[in-house]
C-alpha cells in the first residue's frame, strides 16, 4: 500500500449538504495511509453532513477556503452531495483553487456530485471521468469524456484526476486516490 507520509490533502466542501460517507470514509483512508487531511469550507466553521436527504452529524472545518494556501496542498478531495456540489461550484475561491490545481498538475479526487465544481474550472476538456449519472451531460458539455465506471483515473493533462460515481465505489475510489497522491 502506498504511503502518504508528509502529504497534505485539502478536502473542499460547502458548509452544508455534504454526503457524510463521501467525506469521512475517504478522509479516514487517506489518514490511515499517513496523509494530513484538512477540511476547508467557505465559513471555516462546522460542515453539516447528510446521509442522502437526511441530516447527519456536523464535522468541524480546519480552515476557510479563502485561507487555503494552494502551495501547501499535495492534492484535493471533493466529496459529493447534491447540495454540496451545487453550492461549492459558486464559491469563487474553491473554483480558483481547483482550476489552478488541475492546471498545475496537483492530483484531484472527486466523487458523485463533486464534479459539478470542476465544471466551473474550464479544465475538463479531454479528461476521462465519471460521476453520479445525472452529471453526465454537464461534464460532457464541459469537454470531459464521461464513462460509467466504478473509478476512472485520468492522467491526460498536467495532473491526475480520480473520479467515482457513488458511495458504493468508495473503497476503490479511496485506493485510487491514495495511489494518485503518492505518485
DSSP state of 120: T
pLDDT tens per residue, range 65-104 = 999 988 889 999 999 999 999 999 999 999 999 999 999 9
Given pLDDT bands bounded at 50, 70 and 90, which one contains residue 1? low
Residues with catalytic annotation? 112-113
Region 130-149 average pLDDT? 98
Give yes or no for residue 148 having a pLDDT over 80: yes
Question: How many CA within 13 A on the CB side of residue 57?
Answer: 6
Given pLDDT bands bounded at 50, 70 and 90, which one contains residue 158? confident
pLDDT tens per residue, range 101-135 = 999 999 999 999 999 999 999 999 999 999 999 99
Predicted pLDDT at 2: 78
Domains (ranges, CATH) in the chain?
A: 8-182 (3.40.50.880)
Give yes or no for residue 157 having a pLDDT over 80: no
pLDDT tens per residue, range 5-37 = 999 999 999 999 999 999 999 999 999 999 999
How buried is 86 (Cβ within 10 angstroms: 0-12 exposed, 13-18 middle, 19+ buried)? middle
Cα-based torsion angle of the residue sequence 99, 12, 89, 46 in order, rounded to the nearest 10 degrees: -150
**3-state DSSP of 147-158:** CCCCEEEECCCC
Predicted pLDDT at 18: 98
Mean pLDDT score across all residues of the chain: 96
Predicted pLDDT at 71: 85
Predicted pLDDT at 159: 78
Amino acid at each position: 500500500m502506498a504511503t502518504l507520509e508528509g502529504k497534505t490533502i485539502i478536502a473542499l466542501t460547502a458548509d452544508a449538504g455534504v454526503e457524510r460517507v463521501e467525506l469521512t470514509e475517504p478522509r479516514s483512508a487517506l489518514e490511515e495511509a499517513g496523509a494530513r487531511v484538512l477540511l476547508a469550507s467557505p465559513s471555516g466553521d462546522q460542515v453539516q453532513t447528510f446521509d442522502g436527504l437526511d441530516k447527519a452529524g456536523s464535522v468541524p472545518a480546519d480552515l476557510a477556503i479563502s485561507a487555503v494556501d494552494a502551495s501547501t496542498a499535495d492534492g484535493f478531495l471533493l466529496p459529493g452531495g447534491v447540495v454540496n456540489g451545487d453550492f461549492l461550484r459558486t464559491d469563487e475561491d474553491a473554483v480558483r483553487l481547483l482550476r489552478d490545481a488541475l492546471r498545475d498538475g496537483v492530483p484531484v479526487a472527486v466523487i458523485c456530485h463533486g464534479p459539478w465544481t470542476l465544471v466551473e474550472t474550464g479544465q475538463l476538456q479531454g479528461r476521462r471521468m465519471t460521476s453520479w449519472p445525472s452529471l453526465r451531460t454537464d461534464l460532457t458539455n464541459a469537454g470531459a469524456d464521461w464513462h460509467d465506471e466504478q473509478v476512472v483515473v485520468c492522467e491526460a493533462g498536467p495532473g491526475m484526476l480520480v473520479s467515482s460515481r457513488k458511495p458504493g465505489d468508495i473503497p476503490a475510489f479511496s485506493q485510487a486516490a491514495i495511489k494518485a497522491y503518492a505518485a
